[in-house]
C-alpha cells in the first residue's frame, strides 16, 4: 500500500464516524474563515445567590512576573501583559485566556482588575485563541464568578465586553466538535443568561439549558461515567454540572423544578462514579488524556459535590469493594491503599474519540497507597512523536501485535479504526478473589484476524500476601509477533531474583515479586511516566516478546511479599 492510499484510508476510517451535523459544521468553518461575532446586545449585571462557594481552580506556582500553565512557566507582567505569547503551546495560550487566575488567592483584587482591563483594551474581537469558543466559554464563566465576589456591580466596560463575548459565543457554538466543548458552550450561555438581564439574557439561558440538558443525557452514561472515558474530563464535566446546580438551585424561579431535578440527578450520578473509581492513592487513574493538576484532586471535587448536592452514597472505607462500571468500561477493586483498575471501555464516543489512548485492557496497580504499575499519562496536546508515543499501545500495560496499534491513532487527537471491547466481566470467586476477563477486536484488521483476550485473577485481596495473575491469549491464524508491556513507577527499584523473577521495591517499604511465565523473551526498556502536563520522568518497562503461530499465550504474576 502506498503512502497516499494509507493516508486516504486513515481519513476515511476517521471521518466515517462523524455525525452529519459535525461534517456540515466543519465545512462551514472552513468556508468562512473569519470568526462570527454576533450582535452584542447589552447585558446588565444581576447578582444571584448560590448554594455554596464555587470550587477554586488549581492555583499554579505563579507570581506577579511569571505565569505557569501545563507545567510551563513564562515571564508575564501582570500590568503590561503579553496576550499573544507566540513561543508557547496553544494549550498554554488557552489557559492564559481562561482567566482561572481571577480566583487565585496569590493575585490581589487590583491585579485581577488590571488584567481584565488590559484584556479588554488589548485583545481585539475575534482574535485567535482568545475568542475561540472553548476559551471564551471558560472565560465568560470565570468573569461571572468573579463579578459575584465584588462588593459593587462590575464597571460598564466589563459588562460591555462580556456582552460582546457572549454574543460571539452564541454565534459560534462548537457543533463541529461536540462533546465536552459543546457542554462548556452551553454552560457559559446558562451563566450569562442567569447572572445578567436584558433582552438577550432570557434567550441565552433558554439555549444554554437546551444544550446542557441534552448533553446530560448524551455525555453522562447510565453508570455515571463521562462518555469520553477520560477520568480528568470526567472531573471537569462533573464540576460543570455542579456549578449549574449551584447557581440555578440558589435562585428558585429561574428554571423549572423538573430542569433542576434533571441537572441534580446528572451531577449526583457523575459524583457517585468519581467516588467509585478512585484508586489506592485516593485520586483518578490516568487513562485517556488524564493528568493530575488540571482539576482539583478528586476528594476536593467530591467535597464540593456534597456542599452542593448534600451527602453522597460514597463507598465505605475498609474492606474490599469491587469497581464495576460496565457502561464506561472501568473494572477492578480497591481495598484501602491497594487497587487494581482496568480500562475495558470503548475509546470514546464514535464521533469524538479525540482523547483516546491505546489502553484497552490496560491497568494501574497501587499497593499500600504506592504506585507500582502505572499508566504513562499525558504530557501535552502538541502533535508529534512524544504525543504519539504516550497514546500508543507500547505506552500502556497491555498487548501489542505485529508492532501495530490497537486503535489507529494519528495526529494529536485523531483515531481511525478503533478497538472495541467485548465479552467483558468481573466475577467474584468462592475463595474470595475476583476474576476479570475481556477481549477486544482492534487487531482483527491484521492478517489472520487476531484477537487479544486478557484474564486477571485477584487471588487474595486481603492485605499483605495479595497476588495478581495476568494471562493473555492471542487467538487467530498464522504467525505473529506478540509483546506485553509492564510499566513500573519511576521510584520502583528492580532486583533480579532468577531468570524470570524480579523483586520490585516501591516507596513505603512495599516489596513485590514479579514472575514471568515460561513463554516469551524478556527485556527491559526505557519508557516515560507523565503524571501531569509538562512533567516527564523516565521509568523502566518490562517487555515480554514472542513470535510464533497463533494461538499464543503469555502471562505473569505479581505477589506482595510480607
- Cα separations in angstroms, 313 against 246, 316, 542: 19, 9, 39
pLDDT confidence of residue 26: 80
Shared domain check, 467 and 351: yes
Q: Please indicate, yes or no, if residue 39 is contained in any of the structural domains.
A: no
pLDDT of 316 strictly over 80? no
pLDDT confidence of residue 14: 87
Domain boundary among 143, 172, 201: 172
pLDDT of 214 strictly over 70? yes
Please provide the average confidence, as pLDDT, over all residues in the chain: 93
Task: Give the number of other CB atoms < 10 A from CB of residue 120.
Answer: 16
Question: Which tens digit of pLDDT belongs to each residue from 539-557?
Answer: 999 999 999 999 999 999 9
pLDDT of 465 strictly over 80? no
Instruction: Catalogue the E-assigned strands of 488-551.
Output: 493-498, 501-506, 510-516, 521-529, 537-549
pLDDT confidence of residue 134: 97
What average pLDDT does this structure show over 115-126? Answer: 96
From CA 1, how far away is CA 7, in angstroms rounded? 10
Shared domain check, 458 and 392: yes
Q: Which of 554, 335, 283 is nearest to 466 (CA)?
A: 335
pLDDT confidence of residue 132: 95
Domain boundary among 147, 172, 197: 172
What average pLDDT does this structure show over 330-338? Answer: 93
| Reported confidence tier of residue 1, pLDDT bands at 50, 70, 90 | very low
What average pLDDT does this structure show over 187-216? Answer: 96
Q: What is the DSSP letter of 536?
A: -
From CA 233, how far away is CA 391, in angstroms rounded? 16
Shared domain check, 509 and 381: yes
The answer to whether the CB of 330 falls within 8 A of the CB of 343 is yes
Shared domain check, 231 and 193: yes
Shared domain check, 123 and 185: no
What average pLDDT does this structure show over 214-238? Answer: 97
From CA 45, how far away is CA 159, in angstroms rounded? 7
Shared domain check, 188 and 135: no
What average pLDDT does this structure show over 458-465? Answer: 63
The answer to whether the CB of 420 falls within 8 A of the CB of 353 is no
pLDDT of 3 strictly over 60? no
From CA 45, how far away is CA 248, in angstroms rounded? 16
Q: Which of 293, 504, 285, 503 is nearest to 376 (CA)?
A: 285
The number of domains in the chain is 3
pLDDT confidence of residue 426: 96
What is the CA 351 to chain-centroid distance, rounded? 17
What average pLDDT does this structure show over 55-77? Answer: 84
Q: Please indicate, yes or no, if residue 52 is contained in any of the structural domains.
A: no
Question: Which tens digit of pLDDT belongs to each residue from 7-28?
Answer: 888 888 888 888 888 888 888 8
Q: What is the CATH number of the domain that holds 211?
A: 1.50.10.100
pLDDT confidence of residue 219: 97
Question: Which tens digit of pLDDT belongs to each residue from 411-455?
Answer: 998 999 999 999 999 999 888 889 999 999 999 999 999 999 999
Shared domain check, 185 and 155: no
What average pLDDT does this structure show over 138-165? Answer: 96
What average pLDDT does this structure show over 390-396? Answer: 98
- The C-alpha cell at 319 is 474492606
From CA 489, how far away is CA 477, in angstroms rounded? 35
Shared domain check, 441 and 338: yes
The answer to whether the CB of 419 falls within 8 A of the CB of 358 is yes
pLDDT confidence of residue 178: 86
Q: Please indicate, yes or no, if residue 274 is contained in any of the structural domains.
A: yes
| Reported confidence tier of residue 229, pLDDT bands at 50, 70, 90 | very high
Q: What percent of the chain has pLDDT over 90?
A: 80
Q: What's the domain range around 535?
A: 329-561
Shared domain check, 191 and 135: no
- The C-alpha cell at 47 is 447578582
pLDDT of 53 strictly over 70? yes
pLDDT of 331 strictly over 50? yes
Shared domain check, 376 and 273: no
What average pLDDT does this structure show over 354-382? Answer: 96
Q: Please indicate, yes or no, if residue 299 is contained in any of the structural domains.
A: yes
What average pLDDT does this structure show over 350-362? Answer: 94
Domain boundary among 172, 195, 221: 172
Q: Please indicate, yes or no, if residue 336 is contained in any of the structural domains.
A: yes
| Reported confidence tier of residue 2, pLDDT bands at 50, 70, 90 | very low
What average pLDDT does this structure show over 306-322? Answer: 85
pLDDT confidence of residue 61: 66
pLDDT confidence of residue 63: 64
Shared domain check, 235 and 144: no
What average pLDDT does this structure show over 205-231? Answer: 97
Please enumerate in sequence order all residues whose Cβ is within 8 A of that of 156, keeping only pairs 6 or more positions apart, or say none.
Answer: none
Q: What is the CATH number of the domain that holds 439?
A: 2.70.98.70
| Reported confidence tier of residue 4, pLDDT bands at 50, 70, 90 | low
Amino acid at each position: 500500500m502506498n503512502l497516499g492510499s494509507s493516508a486516504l484510508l486513515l481519513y476515511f476510517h476517521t471521518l466515517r464516524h462523524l455525525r452529519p451535523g459535525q461534517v456540515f459544521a466543519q465545512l462551514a468553518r472552513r468556508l468562512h474563515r473569519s470568526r462570527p461575532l454576533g450582535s452584542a446586545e447589552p447585558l446588565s449585571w444581576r447578582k444571584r445567590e448560590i448554594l455554596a462557594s464555587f470550587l477554586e481552580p488549581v492555583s499554579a506556582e505563579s507570581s506577579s512576573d511569571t505565569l505557569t500553565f501545563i507545567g510551563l512557566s513564562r515571564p508575564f507582567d501582570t500590568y503590561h501583559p503579553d496576550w499573544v505569547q507566540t513561543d508557547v503551546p496553544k494549550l498554554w495560550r488557552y489557559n492564559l485566556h481562561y482567566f482561572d487566575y481571577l480566583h487565585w488567592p496569590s493575585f490581589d483584587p487590583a491585579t485581577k482588575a488590571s488584567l481584565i482591563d488590559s484584556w479588554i483594551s488589548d485583545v481585539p474581537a475575534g482574535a485567535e485563541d482568545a475568542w475561540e469558543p472553548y476559551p471564551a466559554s471558560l472565560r465568560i464563566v470565570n468573569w461571572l464568578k468573579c463579578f459575584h465576589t465584588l462588593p459593587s456591580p462590575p464597571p460598564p466596560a466589563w459588562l460591555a465586553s462580556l456582552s460582546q463575548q457572549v454574543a460571539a459565543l452564541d454565534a459560534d457554538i462548537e457543533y463541529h466538535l461536540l462533546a465536552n466543548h459543546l457542554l462548556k458552550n452551553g454552560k457559559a450561555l446558562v451563566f450569562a443568561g442567569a447572572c445578567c438581564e436584558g433582552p438577550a439574557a432570557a434567550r441565552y439561558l433558554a439555549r444554554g439549558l437546551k444544550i446542557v440538558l441534552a448533553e446530560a443525557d448524551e455525555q453522562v452514561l447510565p453508570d455515571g461515567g463521562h462518555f469520553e472515558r477520560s477520568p480528568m474530563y470526567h472531573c471537569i464535566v462533573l464540576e460543570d454540572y455542579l456549578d449549574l446546580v449551584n447557581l440555578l438551585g440558589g435562585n428558585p424561579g429561574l428554571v423549572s423544578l423538573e430542569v433542576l431535578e434533571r441537572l441534580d440527578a446528572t451531577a449526583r450520578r457523575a459524583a457517585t462514579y468519581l467516588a467509585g473509581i478512585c484508586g489506592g492513592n485516593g485520586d483518578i487513574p490516568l487513562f485517556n488524556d488524564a493528568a493530575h493538576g488540571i482539576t482539583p484532586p478528586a476528594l476536593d471535587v467530591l467535597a464540593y459535590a456534597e456542599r452542593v448536592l448534600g451527602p453522597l452514597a460514597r463507598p465505605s472505607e475498609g474492606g474490599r469493594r469491587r469497581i464495576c462500571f460496565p457502561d464506561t468500561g472501568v473494572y477492578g477493586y480497591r481495598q484501602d491503599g491497594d487497587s487494581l483498575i482496568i480500562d475495558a471501555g470503548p475509546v470514546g464516543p464514535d464521533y469524538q474519540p479525540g482523547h483516546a489512548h491505546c489502553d484497552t485492557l490496560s491497568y494501574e496497580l497501587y499497593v499500600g497507597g504506592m504506585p507500582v504499575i502505572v499508566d504513562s499519562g499525558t504530557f501535552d496536546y502538541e502533535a508529534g512523536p512524544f504525543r504519539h508515543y504516550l497514546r500508543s499501545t507500547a505506552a500502556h500495560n497491555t498487548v501489542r501485535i505485529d508492532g501495530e496499534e490497537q486503535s489507529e491513532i494519528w495526529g494529536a487527537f485523531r483515531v481511525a479504526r478503533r478497538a472495541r471491547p467485548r465479552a467483558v466481566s468481573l466475577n467474584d470467586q468462592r475463595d474470595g478473589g475476583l476474576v476479570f476477563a475481556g477481549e477486544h477486536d482492534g487487531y482483527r484488521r491484521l492478517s489472520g484476524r487476531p484477537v487479544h483476550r486478557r484474564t486477571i485473577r485477584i487471588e487474595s485481596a486481603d492485605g499483605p500476601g495479595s497476588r495478581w495473575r495476568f494471562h493473555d491469549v492471542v487467538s487467530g491464524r498464522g504467525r505473529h509477533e506478540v509483546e506485553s508491556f509492564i510499566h513500573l513507577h519511576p521510584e520502583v527499584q528492580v532486583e533480579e531474583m532468577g531468570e524470570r523473577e524480579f523483586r520490585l521495591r516501591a516507596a513505603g517499604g512495599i516489596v513485590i515479586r514479579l514472575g514471568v511465565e515460561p513463554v516469551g523473551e524478556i527485556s527491559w526498556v526505557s519508557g516515560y511516566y507523565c503524571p501531569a502536563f509538562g512533567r516527564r520522568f523516565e521509568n523502566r518497562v518490562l517487555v515480554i516478546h514472542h513470535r510464533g503461530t497463533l494461538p499464543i499465550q503469555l502471562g505473569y504474576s505479581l505477589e506482595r511479599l510480607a
